[in-house]
């Protein structure tokens, strides 16, 4: 048996760390179609709003985290910040999502943008594209929690029920219990304005790190969320279908933190889950129907938190759809969806 001196062991350990850091992602890089302007603080999560009247005027909204001057920045499809559509002066906006045709009253519908404002223990709701607040300053979340730390929201996703047209917000938090980590609120609009109604608490947690990223498959009726050092968890999105866990998968396909989740949807309910493998600086691809692992891809981003995708063509630049992912240099990477080579799988 060969023994190594302590100094040699230290050098070997350093060599392994250096090699692993540089070699962990040896996948060929798929270069971004374009990179957005920088935000002032700390990017985290994007959402794509499709302008149904003119797809080339669609917008990407991205969170920028800061306790005093956080923001939701709007970007056009050239990656330029649109100041008139951006919201600033926020207290640590974390995750963001979008839904369409929310009914304000019998005659008025609007698209909506929702995001978590972590340090105020609330979620915010705005109309798109006029960017008017619909929440009278914010909706409190996790109100039954007596521990302040357990009320700080992180992830959020909207579920639009295809038949009833009801819209629900599913919210996660920075710290939470091993059971009922997520809260689901229905967005209700009446003569008094918009309000939230708690309809259920659900969702297991491993206790290993935290739960942030959430994504909803409206058409198939599932919600996925990242139990960050454990697995991707799957439940029914409609609270009337029950709270049983339908899956806990992907643990072997990530280096450490399982982060942002997006769902690329194609005809006949086919498609893919695209999930950020944060410390590997890559993305893991899973089949939408079976949730089986397919491959990993490198899109050039590092330490990616949130990501979003649409298969809707958005003008000449993104003629096959758009994939947006956060990078740790305060930018978002925009990829023409065809570059990800998903449909060949």
Residues of the chain with pLDDT under 50: 1-24
Q: Is-contact 218 160, C-beta < 8 A? A: yes
Give 344: exposed, middle or buried? Use CB within 10 Å, 0-12, 13-18, 19+. exposed
Instruction: Report DSSP state, residue 8.
Output: H
What local confidence, expressed as pLDDT, does residue 157 receive?
A: 98
Q: How many residues does the chain have?
A: 345
Phi, psi of 141 (to 5 degrees): -130, 160
Distance separating alpha carbons of residues 47 and 86, to the nearest angstrom:
13
Burial level of 338, CB count in 10 A (0-12/13-18/19+)?
Answer: middle
Residue-wise pLDDT tens digits, 53-85: 999 999 999 999 999 999 999 999 999 999 999
Q: Which fold has domain 33-340?
A: Neuraminidase (2.120.10)
155, 195 Cβ separation under 8 angstroms: no
192-222 pLDDT, tens digit per residue, is 899 999 999 999 999 999 999 999 999 999 9
Helix (H) or strand (E) holding 122: strand 122-128
| pLDDT for 147 | 87
- Interatomic CA distance for residues 33 and 323, integer angstroms: 10
**Angstrom distance (rounded) from CA 74 to CA 341:** 27
Q: Name the residue ranges covered by the structural domains of the chain.
A: 33-340
Tokens standing for residue 8: 């040699």
What is the pLDDT at residue 13?
Answer: 42
Which residues are CB-neighbours of 343 under 8 A, at least 6 positions away?
Answer: 266
Check residue 174 and report its DSSP letter.
S
Residue 6: count other Cβ atoms within 10 Å of its Cβ: 7
Residue 71: in which H helix or E strand, if any? strand 70-75
């Amino acid at each position: 048996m060969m023994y190594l001196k302590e100094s040699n062991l230290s050098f070997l350990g350093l060599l392994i760390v250096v090699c692993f850091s540089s070699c962990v992602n040896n996948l060929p890089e798929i270069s971004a179609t374009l990179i957005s302007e920088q935000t002032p603080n700390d990017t985290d999560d994007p959402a794509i709003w499709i302008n149904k009247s003119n797809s080339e005027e669609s917008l990407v909204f991205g969170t920028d985290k800061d306790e005093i001057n956080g923001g939701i920045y709007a970007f056009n499809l050239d990656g330029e910040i649109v100041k008139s559509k951006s919201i600033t002066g926020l207290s640590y906006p974390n995750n963001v999502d979008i839904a369409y045709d929310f009914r304000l009253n019998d005659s008025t519908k609007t698209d909506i943008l929702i995001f978590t404002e972590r340090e105020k223990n609330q979620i915010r709701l705005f109309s798109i594209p006029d960017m008017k607040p619909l929440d009278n300053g914010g909706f409190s979340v996790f109100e039954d929690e007596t521990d302040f730390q357990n009320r700080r929201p992180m992830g959020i996703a909207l579920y639009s029920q295809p038949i009833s047209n009801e819209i629900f917000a599913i919210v996660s938090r920075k710290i939470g219990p091993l059971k009922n980590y997520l809260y689901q609120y229905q967005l209700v609009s009446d003569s008094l304005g918009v309000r939230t109604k708690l309809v259920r608490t659900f969702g297991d947690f491993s206790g290993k790190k935290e739960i942030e990223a959430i994504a909803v498959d409206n058409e198939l009726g599932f919600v996925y969320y990242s139990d960050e050092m454990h697995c991707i968890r799957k439940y029914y999105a409609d609270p009337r279908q029950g709270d049983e866990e339908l899956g806990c998968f992907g643990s072997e396909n990530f280096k450490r933190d399982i982060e942002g989740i997006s769902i690329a949807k194609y005809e006949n309910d086919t498609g893919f889950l695209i999930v950020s493998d944060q410390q590997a600086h890559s993305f893991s691809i899973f089949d939408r129907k079976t949730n089986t692992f397919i491959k990993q891809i490198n899109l050039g981003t590092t330490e990616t938190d949130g990501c979003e995708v649409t298969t809707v063509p958005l003008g000449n630049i993104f003629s096959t759809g758009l994939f947006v992912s956060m990078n740790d240099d305060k930018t978002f990477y925009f990829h023409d969806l065809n570059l990800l080579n998903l449909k060949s799988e």
